[in-house]
Amino acid sequence: MSPILEDEAAQLAALFDGMAEGVVRQSADGAIVDCNRAAERILGLSRDQLMGRSSIDPRWRTIHPDGVVLSGADHPAMLALRTGAPVRDFLMGVERPDGEQRWISINVEPLIRAAGDAPYAVITTFRDVTHQRRTERALHDERQFLTAILGNLPGTMVAVFDEHLELRRTFGGAATTFDELVDADDGPELRAAARRCLSGETTQISARSGERLLELALVPLGTAEAALLIARDVSEREALRDRLSRQERLVTVGTLAAGVGHEINNPLQFVALSIEFGLRRIATLDPPPPVLGELAESLNEALRGLGRIREIVRGLKAFTRERPVARPVDLCAALEIAASMAAHEIKLVATLVLELGPVPPIVADDAQLSQIFVNLLVNAAQAFTTPDPTHNRIVCRSEVAADGRALVTVSDNGTGIDPTVLPRIFDPFFTTKAIGTGTGLGLSICHGIVSALGGEITCTSELGRGTTFRVALPVSDDELPAPRPAVRIRAPLRGRVVVIDDEVDVLDVLGRVLREEHELTMFSSAREALDHLLDAREAPEAVLCDLMMPYISGVELHARMLDRRPELARAFVFITGGSVDARSAELLSDATVRRLEKPFAADDVLDLVAEVVRDSRRRRSTAG
DSSP for 416-451, please give it. ---TTTGGGTTSTT---SPTTT--S-HHHHHHHHHH
| Residues paired with 362 in a beta bridge | 329
Considering only residues 282 and 225, tell me which one the structure prediction assigns the higher pLDDT.
225
Q: What separation in angstroms does the CA of 536 have from each of 131, 419, 526?
A: 102, 72, 15
Q: For residue 225, tell me if it sits in a domain.
A: yes
Q: Is residue 346 located within the same domain as residue 448?
A: yes
For 86-98, what is each residue's pLDDT tens digit? Answer: 999 999 999 998 8
The mean pLDDT value of the chain amounts to: 82
Boundary-marking domain end, from 429, 458, 481: 481
- As a dihedral over the C-alpha atoms of residue 416, residue 419, residue 421, residue 423, rounded to 10 degrees, the angle is 110
DSSP letter string over 554-593? Answer: HHHHHHHHHHH-HHHHTTEEEEE-S---HHHHHHHTSTTS
Taking the CB of residue 547, how many other CB atoms lie within 10 A of it? 25
In this structure, what CATH number is given to the domain that contains residue 129?
3.30.450.20
Helix, strand, coil proportions of the chain in percent (round to 5)? 45, 25, 35
> How many residues can be counted in the chain?
624
Q: Looking at residue 3, what is its pLDDT?
A: 65
- Specify the CATH number for the domain of residue 508: 3.40.50.2300
Please state, in angstroms and rounded to a whole number, the distance separating the CA atoms of residues 122 and 110: 4
Phi then psi for 6, rounded to 5 degrees?
A: -60, -40
Nearest CA to 524 out of 546, 543, 509 is that of: 546
Give a yes or no: residue 140 inside a domain.
Answer: no
Amino acid identity, position 10: A
- To which H or E segment does residue 94 belong? strand 87-95
pLDDT band at 256 (very low <50, low <70, confident <90, very high): low
In 441-563, where do the E strands start and end? 456-462, 466-473, 495-500, 518-523, 542-546
pLDDT of residue 350: 93
Identify whether residues 417 and 499 lie together within a single domain: no
Mean pLDDT of 533-559: 88
481 has a pLDDT exceeding 70: no
Q: 214 and 77 share a domain? A: no
Please name the helix (run of DSSP H) or strand (run of DSSP E) that holds residue 50, with its range, or none. Answer: helix 47-50
Tell me the C-alpha distance between 442 and 422, whole Å: 15
Average of pLDDT values for 269-286? 74
- Please give the radius of gyration of the chain, using alpha carbons only, rounded to the nearest integer: 47
Between 198 and 8, the higher pLDDT residue: 198
225: pLDDT strictly greater than 70: yes
Q: Report residue 439's pLDDT band, with 50, 70 and 90 as the boundaries.
A: very low
Between 164 and 27, whose confidence is greater?
27
- Lowest mean pLDDT segment, chosen from 145-149, 197-201, 225-229, 464-468: 145-149
Query: What's the rounded mean pLDDT across residues 341-345?
Result: 82
Higher-confidence residue of 279 and 286: namely 279
β partners of residue 102: 94
Q: Domain ends where: 233, 258, 274?
A: 233
Burial of 392 (0-12, 13-18, 19+ CB in 10 A): buried
More confident residue, 413 or 306: 413
Q: How far apart (Å, rounded) are the C-alpha atoms in residues 355 and 347?
A: 17
Query: In which band, very low, low, confident or very high, does the pLDDT at 322 lie, cut at 50, 70 and 90?
Result: very low
Classified as helix, coil or strand, 224 is: coil
Do 74 and 112 belong together in one domain? yes
Rounded Cα gap, residues 567 and 557, in angstroms = 14
Does 284 map to a domain? no
The answer as to whether 525 is a domain residue is yes
Closest of 223, 226, 183 to residue 205, by C-alpha: 183
Residue 30 DSSP one-character state: S
pLDDT at 486: 45
HSE-CB at 261 with a 13 A cutoff on CA atoms is: 26
470 and 330 together in one domain: yes
Whole-number Cα distances in Å, 539 to 484, 556, 571: 32, 19, 10
Residues 94, 220 within the same domain: no
- CATH number of the domain residue 345 falls in: 3.30.565.10
Burial class from Cβ neighbours inside 10 Å (0-12, 13-18, 19+) for residue 148 reads exposed
Confidence (pLDDT) at 214: 86
The backbone region for 59, taken as left when phi is positive above 0, alpha when psi lies in -120 to 50, beta otherwise, is alpha
Confidence of residue 487 (pLDDT cuts 50, 70, 90): very low
66 and 196, same domain (yes or no)? no
Contacts of 114 (CB under 8 A, 6+ apart): none
Looking at the structure, tell me whether residues 339 and 426 fall in a common domain: yes
pLDDT of residue 456: 92
477 and 499 co-located in one domain: no
Task: Give the mean model confidence (pLDDT) for residues 409-430.
Answer: 81
Q: How many domains does the chain have?
A: 4
Say if 315 falls within a structural domain.
no
Q: What is the pTM of this model?
A: 0.44
Between 107 and 141, the higher pLDDT residue:
107
Lowest mean pLDDT among 4-13, 343-352, 409-418, 495-504: 4-13
Q: Is residue 552 one of the residues assigned to a domain?
A: yes
CB contact at 8 A, 94 and 57: no
What per-residue confidence (pLDDT) applies to 479? 67
Q: Give the residue from 198, 233, 268 where a domain finishes.
A: 233
Q: Could you tell me the maximum CA-CA distance found in the chain, to the nearest angstrom?
A: 163
Rounded to an integer, the average pLDDT of 101-120 is: 89
How many Å apart are CA 517 and CA 507, to the nearest integer? 16
On whether the CB atoms of residues 464 and 413 are closer than 8 A, the answer is no
- Domain-located, residue 64: yes
Q: Give the tens place of pLDDT for each residue, 172-213.
A: 766 777 888 888 888 889 889 989 998 899 888 888 888 788
- pLDDT number for residue 268: 73
pLDDT at 124: 92
Contact present, 481 and 361 (Cβ < 8 Å): no
Q: Are residues 464 and 606 in the same domain?
A: no
Can you tell me the distance from the alpha carbon of 462 to that of 413, in angstroms, rounded to the nearest whole number? 9
More confident residue, 451 or 116: 451
Residue 478: alpha-carbon gap to chain centroid = 40
d(CA 181, CA 157): 10
pLDDT band at 452 (very low <50, low <70, confident <90, very high): confident
Same domain, yes or no: 476 and 521: no
Q: Residue 211's Cα: distance from chain center in Å?
A: 20
User: Are 474 and 393 in a shared domain?
Assistant: yes
Q: How confident is the model at residue 349 (pLDDT cuts 50, 70, 90)?
A: very high
Name the pairing type of β-strands 542-546 and 518-523. unpaired
Predicted confidence at residue 239, as pLDDT, reads 67
Q: What is the pLDDT of residues 567-590, one digit of tens each?
A: 889 999 998 876 667 788 888 888
Q: For 57, how many CA atoms within 13 A lie in the half-sphere containing its CB? A: 14
Range with lowest mean pLDDT among 101-115, 164-178, 542-556: 164-178
- Classify the phi-psi angles of 114: left when phi > 0, otherwise alpha if psi is within -120 to 50, otherwise beta: alpha
Residue 31 per-residue DSSP state = B
Identify the domain containing residue 544 by its residue range.
495-623
- Could you tell me if residue 309 is inside a domain? no
pLDDT value at residue 111: 92
In angstroms, the Cα distances linking 94 to 99, 406, 586 are 10, 85, 82
